[in-house]
Amino acid sequence: MEIQLPANAKLIIEKLRQSGYSCYAVGGCVRDSLRGITPHDWDFTTSAKPDEIEQVFSEYQTIAVGKKYGTVAVLIGGEIFEITTYRVDGAYSDARHPDEVRFSDRIQDDLARRDFTVNAMAYNDEHGLIDLYGGRQDLSFGVIRCVGDPQERFSEDALRIMRALRFASVLGFTIEPHTSDAILKQRKLLGGIASERIREELLKLLCGDRADFILRRYRSVIAVVIPELKGTFDFEQHSKHHNRDVYRHIVAAVHNVEPEPLLRVTMLFHDIGKPLSQTIDKHGVCHYKGHQKIGAAMTREILRRLCMPSVFIDEVCDLIRWHDERFKPDPVMLKQYLKLLGADAMQKLMLVQRADILAQSAYLREEKLSNLMAVSEELNRIISAGECYSLRQLSVSGADLLHSGFCTGVRIGQILDALLDKVIEGELPNEKDALLDYAKKTFDKDA
Ligand code: ATP
Ligand code: MG
């Protein structure tokens, strides 16, 4: 697989070359090109210093995204390209940047500071592939290996521990033994890393093809970031519905949903409340009453700590709160839930429940799945038929009630809610006249 630089990448390298500087495409774009995947962006490394980069691209719009760290972004044809001066890094302690950097004239220095061999390759058409650490071979064998001494590299910047797991999960690679040992030995250093940095890597890790393998193999690392998960490790369920301990069940469920952050995070935490809610009946069978609620509360704490956006937290916690609800393919029941949670959350709940069932034992699996299928079909029918389950769809509005003589806002809200319930239960048609008639007959205007 040869690297095809897009026209704008060639232009960047050529312009710098004409001004007497060397420049290469570097990092993720080289790695992905060699894997036969179109890079999502192109980054460059150059001997030019930030001011010099700005000068070379003076006819373009440039953004000093991190000039102190050597990075200037250039806008070409509506696309942003980051160009960074060759540098030697000190220790990293903040969000994305090392504490001190030294610029260099040598591409070798720049490649030496990079995290893994597969990320430490550079390319331009003039010099071809610069691969000082065997990155190409590691790529073809599917190996994540530190550039240099793994113990040192992880102690310089412990986020690299999460990055190693992330790349292994996303690329489906194995982690080279010395790198793996260093990860396990130095995992506690992750405790000192900013939550925002961890969050990004964790979400990517969870959405990788091999997230299941990484979550099992490196669970002690995951436990540094999310200690609350420890309670699920080896926690036997003693129930016919399960043939795995809670953590293994969780991981299998993660694997059973689409690689999308919301669903993967939901599955990772859906049963986190189980160890705290276990009771044993006289037959020795275990029950987990209330684990959904406990789990949702624990998850809220964890996701807050990881600085996840609050809308995302609310969505995940709703899904966890209701993940074990026993739905029936009954239109009234489903419309009540649609009223409570909305169509989007209900449809996502179907995916969550499917993933959960498929990660359970074979006991009653067919029954569970066929019920879920019927529920899901009924749900889709209600939604696509536009049947009424929300105030938005109700044929009567607050303004209509106001015109009919009802006054206070609170009262109007209560009446609308009661009318919606009647429509959902099939006791009233969703028609304005009928609803207003009923309201006038039933509710006291002066109350
Ligand atoms: P992708 O963008 O596809 O997620 P990437 O490899 O481009 O993957 P980035 O986070 O964009 O990852 O980083 C760009 C490059 O910078 C990496 O390929 C690597 O060479 C280097 N790099 C990033 N973070 C670190 C780090 N913490 N330590 C050392 N090198 C790093
Ligand atoms: Mg990148």
Q: Please tell me the residue having the least CA distance from ligand 1 atom 11.
A: 28
Contacts 24+ apart (CB under 8 A), 127-136: 127/24, 129/3, 129/30, 130/24, 132/108, 135/31, 136/34
**Which ligand 1 atom is nearest residue 114's CA?**
30
Tokens standing for residue 75: 């806008």
Q: How high is the pLDDT of residue 408?
A: 76
Helices then strands, each counted (H, E), the chain: 22, 13
With vertex at residue 44, the alpha carbon angle to CA 43 and CA 50, rounded to the nearest 5 degrees, is 115
Question: Which region among 81-85, 93-97, 438-442 has the lowest average model confidence (pLDDT)?
Answer: 93-97
Q: Is the pLDDT of residue 121 over 60?
A: yes
Say if CB 246 and CB 271 are below 8 A apart: yes
Q: Please tell me the residue having the least CA distance from ligand 1 atom 16.
A: 27
87 lines ligand 1 (CB under 6 A): no
| Residue 222: strand, helix, or coil | helix
Does an H or E element contain 160, and which? Answer: helix 159-171
Q: Is the pLDDT of residue 190 over 70?
A: yes
Alpha carbon of residue 56 to chain centroid: 38
In terms of Cβ atoms closer than 10 Å to its own Cβ (0-12, 13-18, 19+), residue 202 is buried
Q: Is the pLDDT of residue 326 over 70?
A: yes
Tens digit of pLDDT for each residue in 253-297?
999 999 999 999 999 999 999 999 999 999 988 999 999 999 999
Torsion angles phi and psi, residue 18, rounded to 5: -60, -25
How many Å lie between the centroid of ligand 2 and the Cα of residue 180?
23
Contacts of 340 (CB under 8 A, 6+ apart): none
Question: Which region among 180-194, 308-322, 365-379, 395-409 has the lowest average model confidence (pLDDT)?
Answer: 395-409
CA atoms within 13 A on the CB side of 222: 25
Does an H or E element contain 63, and which? Answer: strand 61-66
pLDDT band at 352 (very low <50, low <70, confident <90, very high): very high
Q: Is the pLDDT of residue 14 over 50?
A: yes
CA distance 163 to 84: 21
Q: Is the pLDDT of residue 93 over 70?
A: no
User: 71 pairs with which residues across the strands?
Assistant: 66, 84
| Residue 73: strand, helix, or coil | strand
How many Å lie between the centroid of ligand 1 and the Cα of residue 114?
7
Integer-rounded Cα radius of gyration of the chain: 28
Mean pLDDT score of the chain: 96
| Residue 89: strand, helix, or coil | strand
Q: Is the pLDDT of residue 444 over 90?
A: no
| Residue 303: strand, helix, or coil | helix
Q: Is the pLDDT of residue 95 over 60?
A: no
- pTM of structure: 0.95
CB 303: neighbour CB atoms within 10 A? 21
The DSSP code sequence of 306-325 is: TT--HHHHHHHHHHHHHTT-
How many Å lie between the centroid of ligand 2 and the Cα of residue 29?
7
Q: Which residues of 347-356 are buried (b: 16+ CB within 10 A; e: fewer)?
A: ebbbbbbbbb
CA distance 247 to 234: 7
Contacts of 229 (CB under 8 A, 6+ apart): 219, 222, 223, 247, 250, 268, 272
41 Rama sector, left if φ>0, alpha if ψ -120 to 50, beta otherwise = beta
Q: Which-ligand-closest: CA of 80?
A: 2
Q: Please tell me the residue having the least CA distance from ligand 1 atom 24.
A: 115
User: Which overall architecture, per CATH, does domain 142-225 show?
Assistant: Orthogonal Bundle (1.10)
| Sign of torsion over alpha carbons 81, 87, 88, 94 | negative
How many Å lie between the centroid of ligand 1 and the Cα of residue 252?
29
220 Rama sector, left if φ>0, alpha if ψ -120 to 50, beta otherwise = alpha
Residue-range domain boundaries for the chain: 7-135, 142-225, 398-442
Task: List the one residue out of 168, 219, 157 whose CA is nearest residue 192.
Answer: 157
Does an H or E element contain 301, and which? Answer: helix 291-305
Q: Please tell me the residue having the least CA distance from ligand 1 atom 28.
A: 115
Q: Is the pLDDT of residue 385 over 50?
A: yes
- Superfamily designation of domain 7-135: Beta Polymerase, domain 2 (3.30.460.10)
